[in-house]
Structure 1
Amino acid sequence: MKDILSQAEIDELIQSLNTKSEEPVLVKKEKVKPYDFSRPNKFTREQVRAIEDIFSNFAKLLSLRVSDFVRTTCFFEVTFIEELTFFEYTNSVQKSSLVGIFRVNQSDHNASVELSYSAVESIINLILGGDGNCNQNIFSGYTEIEINLIKRVLNIFIQPMIDVWKGFADIKLNLQRVENMGQHIQIAAPSDIIAIVTLKAHIAENEGFINFCIPYFLIEPVLRNIAVTKGFTRTSKPDGVSHEEYLKNKITNNIVEMICNLGKAYLTLDELERIQAGDVIKLKKKTTEQAELLLNNIPKFSVDLGQKNNKIALRINNTIERTS
């Protein structure tokens, strides 16, 4: 015979059902990314990461070249890479920017480099002997002298760019012209897909940006080589290791050249022509003076010469302080 529920048990059952029905039901919303079939993506993630690595190396080389040219510390870094149509890019070019047009491999294909107003003015100010500061709120156009100075700067971009692409493609670049109306440049059709690589420029105490516009049809022949190259295998930092320790371990095995500078001597061309075996050359250093030990051609230590185990040896005495 079936058990019969009491009234108290029936009330408890009804109450439990009501309690469960009051609990909110969570519905997981799936993230849907819209896809424009009229403009399919041309660049894969692997290709974008590889391009980022290439331009990161370029930014390091460019930092050295520009710093040497303007004689102050400049630093460039990749901030982002974006895929756009050429029409979208030209609409975003600022009126105060300067755009350099480069011809690639002596063909009809071109790429462009856009320099922001703050970057242009800071560089020009440094070239002309200033401190690199500029008034970013005032723009009155560019003179022919300023445009010619920027041409010299853009020509500095060529060799580092060739170096970082070496191994993927043998490219040749030639600066064609510099435009101060970047919205009207024509290096691709409005609907063509391009890659925009943006570098943040730290020049003196100012910041600006540099945009590299690369049409897809220009880079497409080397995309496969970029994606599969072993040189771009990424290694992640081990867990629990600080960034400083990780970098220290990476450079520990680097080789540093050491040269002992015994002294200097100056000869005329006539003396140099008549020099022969057995001649004695007098150095401009006394026997009581210490020699210099150079690390990567930089004087670092003062040393004494000696002998150990039938080999010439050096004893380090003092550190040579560098004077700026």
Structure 2
Amino acid sequence: MAGSDVLSQSEIDDLLSALSTGVVSAEEIKDEQKQRKIKVYDFKRPDKFSKDQIRTLYMLHENFARLMNTYLSAHLRTLVHIDVASVDQLTYEEFIRSLPNPSVIGVFQMRPLKGNAILELNPNVIFSIIDRLFGGPGLPPAKTRSLTDIEEAIVKRVINKTLECFSDAWKQVVAIEPKLEIIESNPQFTQIVPPNDMVVIITLHVKIGQVEGLVNICIPYLVLEPIMSKLTTTYWVASSVAKQALPEHINAIQRKLEKAFIPLYVELGRTTVTVQELLGLVVNDVLQLESKIENDLNVIVGQREKFRGKPGLSGHKVALQITQVISEGDENYD
């Protein structure tokens, strides 16, 4: 495999054929794996991403998986489960060779970062989504095929929403504006970087109902190179904490809260009657309340007693003069 961790379709067929004909046995493969203690390193394709950067990308896309899970569950109205299966670095050629043909490949920009990235959706996943959106049970066709024009229009809407979730997940590191450029079906026609360039592949495992498949996000090293210093767990955690405590964010939340409408009413008094008495009420009947005329009235904010005051007039309008502020329980509403 020339140092590659990704098998092409022909290599997979040859291996299955060898197993079925008895040329090689599964036990021999296991023994060989146990004996091999040396990890092959190809100096022509050096690792571009450190372990810490891979870990950061993993955590970042765990957030992306949660956002996508929420969107698809609500949009498809079915049980959806998405999690990050792996984050690997390999050459672009190895990634392209691993994709089925036909496939659904969305090429998108990550502005202001230069260059393009790829969102590849397994045909089983995308046809399950299409079938659900068209009112079906969410089952893919028996034979994989290319998208029709109508299906491609639907897929573009799904991918655009997916890219919005992608942008939300990445804002902890850098603010990006992803933009879908084109949808391809043949991996060989998708060349965003030279074949030997290193890329990072984030693989998501998607389960929609009873249908399972993979979604791959391919980001070239050249695209991420300007922000490599930010792809560390220390920066990622520090950035998320700092954003929560920024004074401008606190002020913005306070301004929005101050504009919120809440119900406020004055309670003149209470009384209890039976259902029979309630049914017998007629015009001009008098109900005796428990409150006395000299007592302060309760002012209800939301569902809590917050003030007490005396009723009166302000000009020709009914008014209330606040005489007491009730602060009990405020510590629970900080």
Give the TM bin, normalised by the shorter chain: 0.5 to 0.7
> Which residue, 197, 205, 209 being the options, matches 1:204?
209
> Which residue, 127, 135, 142 being the options, matches 1:129?
135
> 1:3-57, CA deviations, whole angstroms, 9 ceiling, x for partnerless residues?
xxxxxxxxxxxxxxxxxxxxxxxxxx89322211111110111100110000001
> Which residue, 35, 39, 42 being the options, matches 1:33?
39
Contact 1:99 1:180 in 2 (8 A): yes
Where does structure 2 lack aligned partners over 5 or more consecutive residues? 1-34, 239-262, 268-273, 276-302, 309-325, 329-334
Q: Is 1:118 paired with 2:129?
A: no
Contact 2:114 2:223 in 1 (8 A): no
Contact 1:66 1:156 in 2 (8 A): no
> Which residue, 86, 90, 99 being the options, matches 1:84?
90
Amino acid at match of 1:192: D
> Which residue, 213, 222, 225 being the options, matches 2:227?
222
User: What is the match of residue 143 of structure 2?
Assistant: 138
Q: 1:167 Cα shift?
A: 3.1
SS of match in other structure, 1:72: coil
Contact 1:98 1:117 in 2 (8 A): yes
Contact 2:76 2:129 in 1 (8 A): yes
User: What is the match of residue 47 of structure 1?
Assistant: 53
> Which residue, 58, 61, 71 being the options, matches 1:65?
71
> Whose helix fraction is larger, Structure 1's or Structure 2's?
2
State how far apart, in whole Å, the 1-side matches of 2:212 and 2:174 are: 32
- How high is the sequence identity, in percent, across the aligned residues? 32
Amino acid at match of 1:185: T
User: What is the match of residue 181 of structure 2?
Assistant: 176
State how far apart, in whole Å, the 2-side matches of 1:307 and 1:128 are: 51
User: What is the match of residue 56 of structure 1?
Assistant: 62
Q: Is 1:103 paired with 2:125?
A: no
> 1:61-116, CA deviations, whole angstroms, 9 ceiling, x for partnerless residues?
01111222222222211001111111111111101310001012166511011111
Of the structure 1 ranges 107-116 and 184-193, higher mean CA displacement relative to structure 2 is found in 107-116
Q: 1:312 Cα shift?
A: 10
Q: 1:134 Cα shift?
A: 2.4
> 1:136-162, CA deviations, whole angstroms, 9 ceiling, x for partnerless residues?
x41233211111111110011122111
Instruction: Summarize the alignment of residues 150-299 of structure 1 with structure 2, pairs less than 5 Å apart.
Output: 150-232=155-237
Cα-Cα RMSD: 3.2
Amino acid at match of 2:57: I
State how far apart, in whole Å, the 1-side matches of 2:225 and 2:74 are: 34
TM-score by length of 1: 0.61
SS of match in other structure, 1:79: strand
Contact 2:55 2:233 in 1 (8 A): no
Contact 2:61 2:84 in 1 (8 A): yes
For residues 30 and 194 of structure 1, do their structure 2 counterparts lie closer, same or farther at Cα, with a shift above 3 Å needed?
closer
State how far apart, in whole Å, the 2-side matches of 1:218 and 1:95 are: 26
Where does structure 1 lack aligned partners over 5 or more consecutive residues? 1-28, 234-263, 265-276, 281-286, 289-304, 314-324
TM-score by length of 2: 0.60
State how far apart, in whole Å, the 2-side matches of 1:88 and 1:226 are: 24
Amino acid at match of 2:120: E
For residues 145 and 35 of structure 1, do their structure 2 counterparts lie closer, same or farther at Cα, with a shift above 3 Å needed?
same
For residues 307 and 190 of structure 1, do their structure 2 counterparts lie closer, same or farther at Cα, with a shift above 3 Å needed?
closer
Amino acid at match of 1:153: V
Contact 1:56 1:78 in 2 (8 A): yes
Contact 1:102 1:175 in 2 (8 A): yes
For residues 34 and 122 of structure 1, do their structure 2 counterparts lie closer, same or farther at Cα, with a shift above 3 Å needed?
same
State how far apart, in whole Å, the 2-side matches of 1:278 and 1:111 are: 56
Q: 1:183 Cα shift?
A: 2.5
State how far apart, in whole Å, the 2-side matches of 1:62 and 1:278 are: 42
Contact 1:196 1:211 in 2 (8 A): yes
SS of match in other structure, 1:130: coil
For residues 306 and 312 of structure 1, do their structure 2 counterparts lie closer, same or farther at Cα, with a shift above 3 Å needed?
farther
State how far apart, in whole Å, the 2-side matches of 1:140 and 1:306 are: 61
SS of match in other structure, 1:109: strand
